[in-house]
Structure 1
Amino acid sequence: MYHQYFGLNEAPFSIAVNPRYLFMSARHRDALAHLLYGVGAGGGFILLTGEVGTGKTTINRCLLEQLPHDTDIAIILNPALNAVELLATACDELGIEYDEDRQTLKTLTDALHSYLLDNHARGRKTVLMIDEAQHLDFEVLEQIRLLTNLETNSEKLLQIILIGQPELAQLLARPELRQLNQRITARYNLGPLNQAETAAYINHRLQVAGMPADRVIFPPSVVRGIYRRTRGIPRLINVLCDRVMLGAYGRNKHRADRATLRIAAREVLGEEGIKQASRWPWALAALVLMGALAAWWGLQPEQQINTFAEPGTSSMARLAAAPTPAEPSTGTATVAPGPVPSAAASVVAGAAEAPASADWLLPPQEGASLFWSLHSDRPLPEKICQDPAGELACVQSEARTWDELVSQARPLLLDVVTPERFAAGVILLGIEGNHAWVGWEAGAVAVPLSALGPLWTGGYRLLWQPPADFDRPLSLGDRSAAVAEVARLFAQLDGQPQALAGDRFNQALKQRVMIFQRDSGLEADGVVGVQTLLKLNSELGIDVSASDARAALQARGGEG
């Protein structure tokens, strides 16, 4: 797609590991040297840690390519195994035969030990590499430690490489794992790139993709902005640079600029990294203040209850009078006796303070009606997820964390349960720091997540506009009016007069879908399902956004 526009042979910022794009910074070379030293030392453990996206996989590839030819290696990519399963997987990787009907720690360890002795007699080394090792249970780690007891009089028979995120080092520092920690012969924590390395990294990938050495696509000011937003993490650099180039292509620009970078950062990262970095001291102060308020209120339970549910015409009174009791929740959250006082909302600069009576807790029918009105002028259907006109589709799902909701960037109707155990709804209009913007009859207010979290069951609903005739996921070879509409939407996104496909889903459309999915953090399978269409609608402004809904409610009733 866009790489031809810039005169490149291929897209330079794919997140797939391609050896041709290998960029070894000084810290990557140091990490590789430590691993090679550990393997050469013979026996024990080697530890490589680093944040997500810093290049651990790249180092692993380099290590595998530089291991001696007389080395046999078993690679375990899924560490969510118990001790028996891990030993069985190691045996499978090394081609060790064992009785599958008698998989015990003893039989598997004996089979592995016999293989290691035979390998040693033939002058070969054996290496076990475990990725994502921060997920290993204590029992499994202890069993892994015992594997290093397999040895001759002169050397260990098995070399073990543990690779994981920084939490792995913290896990191994626990006192009960000190025996394993003491056996680590080489360890290295892979940090992100610095600003100069970020510039060199971007330029390196562009040149590998075919950019002439004298051409500049990313000026220094844009590179500085990329570094601030990605903090030098290579995977984030790839994702953001790819989006910046796609944005420049869509606007017929031959060089990236800061305006295109800002738009790309909002689309890819959710928020501009520089704003997040500047906000953290205030967020920390807010946490301290909220903790102090929660502790003080905990000593005065009567005052807490009265503050949360004052009598009169509040939504709490209406909820108490509602005929439908709360059904048992299927979510993972539990209901606390009462939320942190809403006065804590005042720590958000410029935010309207949540009313003491918690009027943002809406009776189910009232919440559904207000939520529907944000999307349509038509009367509320009997069930919010069954639009008779077929103009709006509904997604009803569950989430376990706020992070899963932030990426939606659209209004959501949360299923909550009040402290009195009545069903209720909350219209979520976005999350900023430690507060959620929620909607009610009088506008939009900021509510501490600590107040909302204990009430949320985990369930939520959203409304969106599907393409005409869309009733199932679309993939290569499908033929329908929905395919033609999806192709038209992508042409609109790219600013192109001609769509890539008509009513038949062709290879060109699949490739465009895969690029879009990869840019959006989705599985790049080329299949157009609901999640892909939700992202596409958000890019094109088809659906109501969270910010638009918030502005609409504030216009109705002021700032609350």
Structure 2
Amino acid sequence: MYHSYFGLKEAPFSIAVNPRYLFMSARHRDALAHLLYGVGVGGGFILLTGEVGTGKTTVNRSLLEQIPDNTDIALILNPALNAIELLATVCDELGIDYDSGEQSLKALTDKLHQFLLSNYANGRNTVLLIDEAQHLQFEVLEQIRLLTNLETNTKKLLQIILVGQPELRTLLHKPELRQLAQRITARYQLKPLNLAETDAYIRHRLQVAGLPANQTLFPKKVVKGIHTVSRGVPRIINVLCDRMLLGTYGKNKTIVDRAMLKQAITEVMGEEDDIELHAAKNFWPIIASLVAAMFIASAWWMWPKPSEAPSPVAPAVVAAPEIKEPTIAPAPVTAEPLWINNEQQAINELLTALNLESTKPSIDCNKKDYSSPRCERLTVKTWQELMAYNRPVVLSLITPAKMQAYATLVAMDNQQATVQQGSITSDIPLSRIGEIWTGDFILIWSPPPGYTEPFSEEYSGPMVQWLAQQFAELDGQDSLLAEGSFNSALMQRIKIFQKNNQLLDDGVVGLKTLLKLNERLGNAKALVIDNTAVEG
């Protein structure tokens, strides 16, 4: 195979489902958040739709891996069933015994109702997930709606997740199904990857397959062409990339070029090799036929059990240069006009950058203060750790003359930092400023009212409801997962949020979790504008 030619351990763009290659884009995380929210709230329907090949299986897999332990789930993979067959399949999935002579709607519904009541009494939840739900017959959809009538005085006993192509949304808009549509508590339309996500997706698969971080196989212009042709559909990206690597190997080249891209388009799409022509056409019919065979390869029975599945691998970020401690003979650094000799002056610059000028007299970074905004003195070892906080900060510096200095950092990327003093800003390479940065910095943030220290599931008080309100806003939902005290739904949502944002998923709500939550809600100025760690 070609993979060893490029220094890879295996072919990175196989169409077979492999959990090691799991890639969760921002929109996939948004979709997962909506599904988890719906499962946490309980009762009614959850709807996930998306075009062929956009990653619905990826989201479903992640849901199954992260669903609470006290949940029993029934998977319907072939919805081309009548109502009796559907109920029988649900009973089979949940391990409900019934006699072959009992296969009537009433008998099967009674058996299911007894099971749901028993599960509820034992503190367990029950979920029914139907894939390819756009193929459900009208009569079957009506029967599914009736299943949500199984309830106690306070809670519906069955949560139903419908997953399908966009035709499912059209089907549910029919007047005859308005009762079902009104019971949908969470819905999400999964869209294809954008250009930046396509680039991250390709790099992610290559790096999982063993490509060194400093090696490039797909130049930017080729990635742009791939995105144009594939419309951001992961399965089509896989097929195109696999064909291009094979062709590049056959020509003894080391980097994919546009000629190889055009050849792959012709071979895969069966069209003329004109990228602009493809951009103007509708490829969904072609995509549907192309991935029909692929779908079999991605059957759900191949999925690993939750205990066996690895954690989703986050898109790779270019490693930032490591911070170097000042040495006796540091490399020459030209004196910068934006270095500030006085710490308080640098903090005032930071407050100005954060539009907090009115708080200047009240902030004292030398005292432990629980007011808002609050000052935090922190230390990291690498630029990448600093970028994870994603807030403008004051950097502590030691100049070549062994003098203490400060810089107000207002923006940065993987190559350079932007520092500010008054109305003047300057872009400085990270490698240059890293020569004199000690790793210490000052961060100013606005904690929620009443927050004093990190808290977790043992805590009960107003912060719980506040946190539930933030997640409800983030997920676009009206109902809260919790109010006065923690429950399993809120704790699970916190851990998912932490995991998707590359934080320690321990359920402890502290500085990093609160900063990231404010960032996702758009309530804070970001340090790194192009941040790939996005979660819904």
**TM-score, normalization: structure 1?**
0.50
Secondary structure of the residue that 2:280 maps to in structure 1? helix
Give the conservation status (yes or no) of the 8 Å contact 2:207–2:213: yes
Secondary structure of the residue that 1:192 maps to in structure 2? coil
User: What letter is aligned with 2:15?
Assistant: I
Aligned to 2:130: 130
1:430-454 alpha-carbon deviations (Å, 9 max, x no partner): xxxxxxxxxxxxxxxxxxxxxxxxx
1:237-264 alpha-carbon deviations (Å, 9 max, x no partner): 1111111111111111111011111111
Secondary structure of the residue that 1:185 maps to in structure 2? strand
Counterparts of 1:7-86 in structure 2, within 5 Å, are 7-86=7-86
1:467-522 alpha-carbon deviations (Å, 9 max, x no partner): xxxxxxxxxxxxxxxxxxxxxxxxxxxxxxxxxxxxxxxxxxxxxxxxxxx99979
Aligned to 1:543: none
Cα 1:89–1:522 change in 2 (3 A) is closer
1:304-363 alpha-carbon deviations (Å, 9 max, x no partner): xxxxxxxxxxxxxxxxxxxxxxxxxxxxxxxxxxxxxxxxxxxxxxxxxxxxxxxxxxxx
- Partner Cα separation in structure 2 for residue 519 and residue 43 of structure 1: 33
Cα 1:256–1:70 change in 2 (3 A) is same
Q: Does 1:264 align with 2:264?
A: yes
Counterparts of 1:62-461 in structure 2, within 5 Å, are 62-271=62-271, 272=273, 274-278=276-280
Cα 1:261–1:40 change in 2 (3 A) is same
- Partner Cα separation in structure 2 for residue 235 and residue 48 of structure 1: 18
- Partner Cα separation in structure 1 for residue 281 and residue 72 of structure 2: 49
Aligned to 2:471: none
1:513-551 alpha-carbon deviations (Å, 9 max, x no partner): xxxxx9997988xxxxxxxxxxxxxxxxxxxxxxxxxxx
Aligned to 1:461: none
1:183-217 alpha-carbon deviations (Å, 9 max, x no partner): 00000000001011101110011001100111000
Cα 1:101–1:522 change in 2 (3 A) is closer
Shift of 1:16: 2.2
Give the conservation status (yes or no) of the 8 Å contact 1:17–1:58: no
1:409-428 alpha-carbon deviations (Å, 9 max, x no partner): xxxxxxxxxxxxxxxxxxxx
- Partner Cα separation in structure 2 for residue 53 and residue 109 of structure 1: 35
Give the conservation status (yes or no) of the 8 Å contact 1:12–1:208: yes
Shift of 1:90: 0.5
Secondary structure of the residue that 1:129 maps to in structure 2? strand
Shift of 1:92: 0.4
- Partner Cα separation in structure 1 for residue 179 and residue 143 of structure 2: 12
Secondary structure of the residue that 1:11 maps to in structure 2? coil
- Partner Cα separation in structure 1 for residue 29 and residue 14 of structure 2: 22
Cα 1:519–1:249 change in 2 (3 A) is farther
Where structure 1 has 5 or more consecutive residues not aligned to the other structure, the ranges are: 284-401, 408-517, 525-560
User: Higher relative contact order by CA 8 Å / sep ≥ 6: 1 or 2?
Assistant: 2
User: What letter is aligned with 1:15?
Assistant: I
Cα 1:521–1:99 change in 2 (3 A) is closer
User: What letter is aligned with 2:245?
Assistant: M
Aligned to 2:365: none
RMSD (Å) for aligned C-alpha atoms: 2.3
User: What letter is aligned with 1:252?
Assistant: N
User: What letter is aligned with 2:53?
Assistant: G
User: What letter is aligned with 2:79?
Assistant: P
Cα 1:274–1:75 change in 2 (3 A) is farther
Shift of 1:170: 0.8
1:370-404 alpha-carbon deviations (Å, 9 max, x no partner): xxxxxxxxxxxxxxxxxxxxxxxxxxxxxxxx989
Aligned to 2:481: none
1:96-149 alpha-carbon deviations (Å, 9 max, x no partner): 001112311001100100100011111100000000000001000000000000
- Partner Cα separation in structure 2 for residue 522 and residue 42 of structure 1: 30
- Partner Cα separation in structure 1 for residue 277 and residue 192 of structure 2: 20
- Partner Cα separation in structure 2 for residue 117 and residue 152 of structure 1: 8
Give the conservation status (yes or no) of the 8 Å contact 1:45–1:183: yes
- Partner Cα separation in structure 2 for residue 145 and residue 274 of structure 1: 46
Give the conservation status (yes or no) of the 8 Å contact 2:269–2:286: no
Give the conservation status (yes or no) of the 8 Å contact 2:87–2:109: yes
Give the conservation status (yes or no) of the 8 Å contact 1:242–1:519: no
Cα 1:186–1:523 change in 2 (3 A) is closer
Cα 1:519–1:119 change in 2 (3 A) is closer
Give the conservation status (yes or no) of the 8 Å contact 1:35–1:46: yes
Aligned length: 293
Cα 1:249–1:134 change in 2 (3 A) is same
Cα 1:522–1:61 change in 2 (3 A) is closer
Between 16-25 and 139-148, the greater mean CA deviation after superposition? 16-25
User: What letter is aligned with 2:57?
Assistant: T
Shift of 1:155: 0.4
Between 246-255 and 35-44, the greater mean CA deviation after superposition? 246-255
Cα 1:160–1:521 change in 2 (3 A) is closer
1:258-313 alpha-carbon deviations (Å, 9 max, x no partner): 11111111111112564243357xx9xxxxxxxxxxxxxxxxxxxxxxxxxxxxxx
User: What letter is aligned with 1:212?
Assistant: P
Give the conservation status (yes or no) of the 8 Å contact 1:239–1:519: no
Give the conservation status (yes or no) of the 8 Å contact 1:268–1:519: no
Work out the percentage of aligned pairs sharing the same amino acid: 71
- Partner Cα separation in structure 2 for residue 190 and residue 79 of structure 1: 21
Where structure 2 has 5 or more consecutive residues not aligned to the other structure, the ranges are: 298-536
Aligned to 1:447: none
Secondary structure of the residue that 2:232 maps to in structure 1? coil
Cα 1:207–1:161 change in 2 (3 A) is same
Give the conservation status (yes or no) of the 8 Å contact 2:53–2:234: yes
Give the conservation status (yes or no) of the 8 Å contact 1:7–1:211: yes
Secondary structure of the residue that 2:72 maps to in structure 1? strand
User: What letter is aligned with 1:268?
Assistant: V
Cα 1:199–1:182 change in 2 (3 A) is same
Give the conservation status (yes or no) of the 8 Å contact 2:228–2:278: no
Cα 1:131–1:219 change in 2 (3 A) is same
- Partner Cα separation in structure 1 for residue 255 and residue 293 of structure 2: 22
